[in-house]
Structure 1
Amino acid sequence: MSLTVEEKGAFKRDGVLIRRGLAAPDTIRRAVSRIDESYRKGMAPDDIPAYSRRTFAPELGNSAELLALYTQTGAADLATGLLGETTPVTTTQIQIRVPEGEFAGVQQAKKMHVDGVSCPHLDPNELRTFSLLVGVVLSDIYDPQCGALHYLPGGHLTMARWFDDEWSLGMTEQVPPEIDRERGTPFLGQPGDVLLVHHLVPHTVAQNLMPFPRVMAYFRISHPDHASRRLEALRDPWLDYPPLAEIPSALTSQE
């Protein structure tokens, strides 16, 4: 599965690529069945804050049914088309936005951030960055109030400038003030839709005001050289993206 020049140009401009219906229904069904069993039988309300910071159903992180959402859907090919090379993916992050009506006040909305930088639950001198986030929709997200992810198209370019000009390792701010004030674009979709997001695109997650959980599977993808140049990759958004180096600038301009 390949990317067109137009798709690469749009990703370079927005930092986001969406492929609808990429994951087959059978693949989705098998993954959802495993997650639902864990959610219904193994989750206590007190676990939700910690799971929200890391992953729900941690025992399923390396299960074949969940890894198939990346390896057997074409998502891996798309990631390779953007990064050129990728490190092997061995774990899945499951993120569930629980219904606020059932778990009132347990799961707060998240502020604008980029993953792995100045996280409140980590040492601010620690970086847990990567190159590309791949998300697979596992429940119907037809309204922003379903607990949708909100992302800021083009925000990766603003973040790279901020990391280069103003930010330094050890700061606790995750984004500059002008980004923190943004609400972002809600990602709406149906089971099987796949979202690919540049690591530097700032994003937030809303509370789920619907009566059913919102479920996404995420994969953190890295270029093989990323771990040795994390700081440089924060300041140069295309360091980990060699296939995008020659994209004509006309394709990256806003219409």
Structure 2
Amino acid sequence: MRNAAQLDAGQREAFRKDGVLLLKDFAPKRAVIAVLRQYNIWRNTVIMQGADDKTRGDIARARQAMDVTEGEEIAPLRKLAHDLGGALLGPDNVHEVEAQLIGWAPSGPAWKPTWHIDWVNKHLRLKTEDQFPGFQLLVGFPLTPALREDRGNLFVSPGWHTEICNTFRQSPTLRDPLEAISKGIASQVPWGTPQQLLVAPGDVILTHSLIPHGVAENKGAGFADKLYFRLAHKTAIHRGGRDALDTPWRNWQGMQDGG
């Protein structure tokens, strides 16, 4: 395990190129185990209170577990996420947009992996282009192992953040490329060749917000659990989103060399 501020030049360059960086054995495993323990207590308690199979299924996925994401157990991982955000976005520049726990149950026969970009449809619903509804950096902590493919792994399309930025830069409006991306999401036309990330508790996933991503099928016996923090540079929240979409590293103080 290393200090979050010690991302080296090679790691930063890999992140610049791919928009994705997997840091192996980077987070304190004791903290990861503590969050997973609380998550399981929360999930099992609420599942038992489910009124029907659909309710239990929705709860089992446990997309939001606010009593866990706001609890003291999460504090060490939140600090590490913010330290990483500070190393990349710049010290004192980090705004936490969201903390989210997601648990993917073993897949049924109808499972179809789908990719998306988190903020696209939300951006399309805005009335003006000078708002920024999203985030810039996703920091993920696997709570359970996914060391083989199809274990509820996060899959990503490395390098496509640059292509997407170029699309925005060449368009006079944001709506046209946003609508094109939204149609691509709806039709599930792939962006490049998606790669499944093989992870274990203690690893940390960093992705640029413009990276297409999704969740692979879970052929394992148990839940595939992850904790995510979505972070943004404070100025992006107030100034608007155009430059965050057409210039991939505009507000990333830690990525400015050659950015």
Partner deviation per Cα, 1:224-250 (whole Å, 9 max, x = no partner)? 1111221221111111213222148xx
Provide the rounded CA distance (Å) in 2 between the counterparts of 1:194 and 1:243: 18
Match of 1:139 among 139, 144, 147: 144
Amino acid across the alignment from 1:224: K
Choose 92-101 or 108-117, whichever is displaced more.
108-117
What residue in structure 2 maps to residue 76 of structure 1?
A: 82
Q: Displaced runs of 4+ in structure 1, greater than 4 A? A: 47-52, 175-179
CA contact (8 A) 1:32 1:138 kept: yes
Match of 1:212 among 206, 213, 222: 222
CA contact (8 A) 2:140 2:205 kept: yes
Amino acid across the alignment from 2:41: E
Match of 1:154 among 147, 155, 159: 159
CA contact (8 A) 2:28 2:202 kept: yes
Percent identity over the alignment?
24
Q: How many residues align?
A: 238
Partner deviation per Cα, 1:171-199 (whole Å, 9 max, x = no partner)? 37437589832451101111110011111
Q: Provide TM-score, normalisation by structure 2.
A: 0.80
What secondary structure sits across from 2:34 in the alignment?
A: helix
Coordinate RMSD, CA, aligned: 2.8
Provide the rounded CA distance (Å) in 1 between the counterparts of 2:242 and 2:165: 10
Label 1:160 to 1:91 Cα distance change in 2 as closer, same or farther (>3 A). closer
CA contact (8 A) 2:244 2:250 kept: yes
**What is the CA distance between 1:68 and its match in structure 2?**
2.3
Amino acid across the alignment from 1:226: A
Provide the rounded CA distance (Å) in 1 between the counterparts of 2:251 and 2:188: 23
CA contact (8 A) 1:20 1:194 kept: yes
Match of 2:41 among 37, 43, 49: 37
What residue in structure 2 maps to residue 251 of structure 1?
A: none
In the alignment, structure 1 residue 195 sits paired with structure 2 residue 199: no
Residue correspondence of structure 1 range 1-255 to structure 2 within 5 A: 1-43=5-47, 44=50, 45-47=53-55, 48=57, 55-71=63-79, 74-85=80-91, 86-89=93-96, 92-101=99-108, 105=110, 108-118=111-121, 122=122, 124-126=124-126, 128-165=133-170, 168-169=174-175, 171=179, 173-174=181-182, 176=184, 180-181=189-190, 182-227=192-237, 228-247=239-258
Amino acid across the alignment from 1:163: F
Provide the rounded CA distance (Å) in 2 between the counterparts of 1:224 and 1:135: 20
**What is the CA distance between 1:46 and its match in structure 2?**
2.6
Label 1:235 to 1:123 Cα distance change in 2 as closer, same or farther (>3 A). closer
**What is the CA distance between 1:87 and its match in structure 2?**
2.8
CA contact (8 A) 1:18 1:194 kept: yes
**What is the CA distance between 1:135 and its match in structure 2?**
0.2
**What is the CA distance between 1:66 and its match in structure 2?**
2.0
What secondary structure sits across from 2:103 in the alignment?
A: strand
Amino acid across the alignment from 2:124: P
What secondary structure sits across from 2:115 in the alignment?
A: coil
CA contact (8 A) 1:159 1:200 kept: yes
Provide the rounded CA distance (Å) in 1 between the counterparts of 2:101 and 2:255: 29
Choose 195-204 or 174-183, whichever is displaced more.
174-183
- Which runs of 5 or more structure 2 residues have no equivalent in the other structure? 127-131
CA contact (8 A) 2:162 2:248 kept: yes
What secondary structure sits across from 2:233 in the alignment?
A: coil
Provide the rounded CA distance (Å) in 2 between the counterparts of 1:51 and 1:180: 29
